[in-house]
């Protein structure tokens, strides 16, 4: 597996978690605004309790809304070009993305990233190494999903079976000189790619 200690340390020093989205406007509605009834007793007296929970005024049940876990992969070929996908579905359909997606129930993050890479690119990940995480907002069917995206450096020994599927309409490698962060439609992916370019340290 290519060494990535300099890459990892650069992220930790220059992008502390508390500062990543420090300037983001927080004017969005409560994350449980669309949940109108208590899931325990069915009462409509389901009130905002704090910034991430609602509480039932009838039975006292409190429901907490937590971030969903997702993964994304940095995959480089022998020419140190980065694999990117083009999103085939909303949100951000038609924009660039990294291979990845939501972690399934009972999966580890490592199992999730291997499965997602296989589903979207038809490639097998031989090894993966965790790098960092970023929070994100993912719009799905009119509902805002809060996610925590886990980024991995993945090794793929054979890229010849490359074929897009699932959420990806295209998959291809790009030289780093040709990567434009603004072409990536999801905020966390855009930030991660920017961090990669700013690090000036590519696995070799």
Q: Where are the domains of the chain?
A: 5-24+67-199, 31-65
Q: How far apart are CA 102 and CA 94, in angstroms?
A: 19
Average pLDDT over residues 190-202: 86
Does the structure show a pLDDT above 90 at 166? no
Average pLDDT over residues 35-53: 96
CA distances from 60 to 30, 34, 36, 52 (A): 19, 19, 15, 16
Architecture of domain 5-24+67-199: Alpha-Beta Complex (3.90)
Q: What is the pTM of this model?
A: 0.84
Tell me if 111 sits within 8 A of 135, measured CB to CB.
no
Q: How far apart are CA 170 and CA 163, in angstroms?
A: 8
Give one word for 101, left, alpha or beta, with left for phi > 0 and alpha for psi -120 to 50: left
Does the structure show a pLDDT above 80 at 2? no
Average pLDDT over residues 27-51: 92
Does the structure show a pLDDT above 70 at 51? yes
Q: What are 70-113's pLDDT values in tens digits?
A: 999 999 999 999 999 999 999 999 999 999 999 999 999 999 99
Q: What pLDDT is recorded for position 127?
A: 97
Q: Which among 114, 203, 198 is positioned nearest to 150, based on CA atoms?
A: 114
Q: What pLDDT is recorded for position 15?
A: 46
């Amino acid at each position: 597996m290519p060494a990535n200690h300099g890459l990892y340390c650069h992220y930790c020093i220059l992008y502390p978690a508390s500062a990543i989205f420090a300037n983001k406007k927080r004017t969005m509605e409560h994350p449980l605004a669309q949940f109108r009834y208590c899931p325990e007793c069915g009462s409509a007296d389901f009130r905002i309790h704090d910034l991430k929970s609602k509480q039932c005024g009838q039975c006292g049940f409190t429901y907490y809304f937590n971030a969903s876990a997702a993964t994304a992969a940095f995959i480089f070929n022998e020419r140190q070009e980065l694999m990117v996908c083009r999103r085939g579905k909303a949100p951000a359909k038609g924009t660039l993305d990294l291979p990845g997606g939501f972690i399934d129930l009972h999966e580890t993050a490592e199992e999730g990233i291997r499965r997602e890479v296989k589903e979207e690119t038809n490639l097998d990940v031989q090894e993966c190494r965790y790098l960092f995480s970023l929070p994100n907002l993912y719009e799905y069917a009119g509902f805002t999903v809060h996610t925590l995206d886990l980024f991995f450096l993945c090794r793929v020994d054979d890229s010849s079976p490359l074929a897009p599927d699932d959420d990806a309409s295209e998959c291809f490698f790009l030289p780093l000189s040709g990567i434009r962060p603004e072409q990536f439609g999801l905020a966390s992916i855009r930030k991660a790619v920017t961090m990669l370019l700013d690090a000036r340290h590519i696995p070799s």
